[in-house]
Amino acid sequence: MGDYDVIVIGGGFSGAVMAERFANLQNKRVLVIEQRAHIAGNCFDYVNEAGILVHHYGPHLFHTNKSAVWDYLSQFTEWTPYEHKVLAAVDSKLVPIPFNLNTLEMMFSHDEAEALKQCLIATYGFDSKVPILELRQSPDAKLRELAECVYEKFFVNYTTKQWGCSPEQISPSVTARVPVVISRDDRYFQDRYQAIPKEGYTKLVAKILAHPNITVTLNTDATSLIKLDVQSRTITFKGQPFNGTLVFTGMLDQLFAYCHGELPYRSLQFDFQTLDLEQFQAATTVNYPNEHRYTRITEFKHILGQKSAQTTIVKEYPQDYDRLDPTKNVPYYPIFNDQNQQRFDAYKTLVDGFTNIITAGRLADYKYYNMDDAIANALNYFVAKDS
């Protein structure tokens, strides 16, 4: 069967955790094949020329309510506590987002804000979180008016930039990630655990992969080594039959040579700038829903509280994914709607025809996972198997 029991395609969080679990729990020999020149997938970070730890594929802020994920990762890293806060540039002011009672008071007169606050609390309860699309359906006319205002100023233009369509045209779960918060909690996430790996995500993933049974090859296109035969449901690796387990964390349409058509993704272009300034902005991230072509600016030094005479920022320009255009060929977000889901399901049926392929991660599952979801899924695969 060759040298390896398990081949993992993709060295991001999902691939790394799957590799580590197979090696550690089952003593399997694992090969991880990564097409890029680095591990850690889109969580890849590094210290740049100004000494600042930057996230090469945009800001990644770890948060979870899942103790199992937190405990697992804590074996491989120490943490720097960090609670993400985001400001939005709206009405020529910087106000907290998620929209919460503090935001309300910054945007309305005292009396208006007081009345709306009472109404929000009476309708939904203090400390509740209401997706904007739900608030727009509120039974109360005053709240519907508020929802319209929040929708117009915070959501509609940002979402149009980010996704190329309106909030109604994508899954409601997307805008529900940033609900209206009926409390004074300004934090972007409310999870129990919020922290950044002390030495960054790349070092963390390197530690996860640092098992003697695991071999990692970078700069390697897996499709040149691995062939799937859908008819006979067999896998070959370097021309030899491979009967071990294949863990696939890439795009299913690519794995099956686009036989059911392409799965749409949204991509991003990043504009990094290092400036001779101690600080560029007051928060890690400032969102620009209504102006500019970019959606947000992130200033990295805030994340770990780094001190330096310079600062590095990144602007994010959303764009369609295009696998044939090197400036657009990094997939970041699956675009899930009914049509795309059906296409994905057709690919999933092909995968399921093989008894020895496991899919994992945001790309292969075509789901808008957060980091902790990806890790939890990989861990759960083994919990289910062991019980």
Secondary structure, 3-state, 221-262: CHHHHEEEECCCCEEEECCEECCCEEEECCCHHHHCCCCCCC
User: Cα–Cα distances in Å, from 285 out to 246, 265, 271, 372, 386?
Assistant: 38, 24, 14, 21, 42
- Does the footprint of ligand UDP cover residue 155 (CB under 6 A)? yes
Interface region with ligand UDP, contact rule CB under 6 A, candidates 5-13, 17-25, 158-166, 334-342:
158-166
Count interface residues toward ligand UDP (CB under 6 A).
13
- Does the footprint of ligand UDP cover residue 198 (CB under 6 A)? no
Name the phi and psi angles at 190, rounded to 5: -110, 10
Beta carbons of 24 and 382 less than 8 angstroms apart: no
Interface region with ligand UDP, contact rule CB under 6 A, candidates 169-177, 242-250, 298-306, 343-351:
169-177
What tokens appear for 150 in the block? 């929040």
**What's the min distance (Å) between Cβ of 158 and ligand UDP?**
3
Among 76, 154, 201, 366, binds ligand UDP (CB under 6 A): 154
**What's the min distance (Å) between Cβ of 258 and ligand UDP?**
26
Of the two residues 177 and 192, which places its CB atom closer to ligand UDP in the complex? 177
Of the two residues 21 and 56, which places its CB atom closer to ligand UDP in the complex? 56
DSSP reduced 3-state for 5: coil
371: Cβ contacts below 8 Å, ≥ 6 apart: 13, 43, 60, 62, 64
- Does the footprint of ligand UDP cover residue 283 (CB under 6 A)? no
Please spell the DSSP secondary structure of 150-180, one letter per residue.
HIIIIIHHHHHHHHSS-GGGS-HHHHTTS-E
- Does the footprint of ligand UDP cover residue 284 (CB under 6 A)? no
Beta carbons of 375 and 352 less than 8 angstroms apart: no
Of the two residues 64 and 287, which places its CB atom closer to ligand UDP in the complex? 287
Rounded Cα–Cα distance for residues 317 and 50 (Å): 23
Q: Are strands 63-64 and 245-248 parallel, antiparallel or unpaired?
A: unpaired
- Does the footprint of ligand UDP cover residue 88 (CB under 6 A)? yes
Interface region with ligand UDP, contact rule CB under 6 A, candidates 72-80, 155-163, 236-244, 355-363:
155-163
Q: Are strands 245-248 and 357-359 parallel, antiparallel or unpaired?
A: parallel
Rounded Cα–Cα distance for residues 137 and 168 (Å): 13
User: Cα–Cα distances in Å, from 99 out to 24, 150, 182?
Assistant: 44, 8, 8
At residue 222, what is the residue type? A
User: Cα–Cα distances in Å, from 282 out to 96, 289, 298, 379?
Assistant: 11, 17, 10, 37
Among 159, 245, 298, 359, binds ligand UDP (CB under 6 A): 159
Of the two residues 175 and 311, which places its CB atom closer to ligand UDP in the complex? 175
- Does the footprint of ligand UDP cover residue 287 (CB under 6 A)? yes
Contacts with ligand UDP in 355-384 (CB under 6 A)?
none
Of the two residues 287 and 359, which places its CB atom closer to ligand UDP in the complex? 287
Closest residue to ligand UDP, Cβ-based? 158
- Does the footprint of ligand UDP cover residue 248 (CB under 6 A)? no
Among 113, 133, 174, 204, binds ligand UDP (CB under 6 A): 174
79 DSSP β-pair partners = 197
**What's the min distance (Å) between Cβ of 152 and ligand UDP?**
11
Of the two residues 22 and 336, which places its CB atom closer to ligand UDP in the complex? 336
Among 178, 204, 208, 371, binds ligand UDP (CB under 6 A): 178
Interface region with ligand UDP, contact rule CB under 6 A, candidates 73-81, 121-129, 152-160, 348-356:
152-160
- Does the footprint of ligand UDP cover residue 162 (CB under 6 A)? yes
Site string for ligand UDP, 30-69 (x = CB under 6 A): ----------------------------------------
Q: Which of 154, 174, 168, 166 is nearest to 100 (CA)?
A: 154
Residue ranges of E strands in 10-126: 30-33, 45-47, 53-55, 63-64, 79-81, 86-90, 93-97
Interface region with ligand UDP, contact rule CB under 6 A, candidates 6-14, 150-158, 212-220, 273-281:
150-158
Task: List residues near ligand UDP by CB under 6 A.
Answer: 88, 97, 154-155, 158-159, 162, 174-175, 177-178, 287, 289
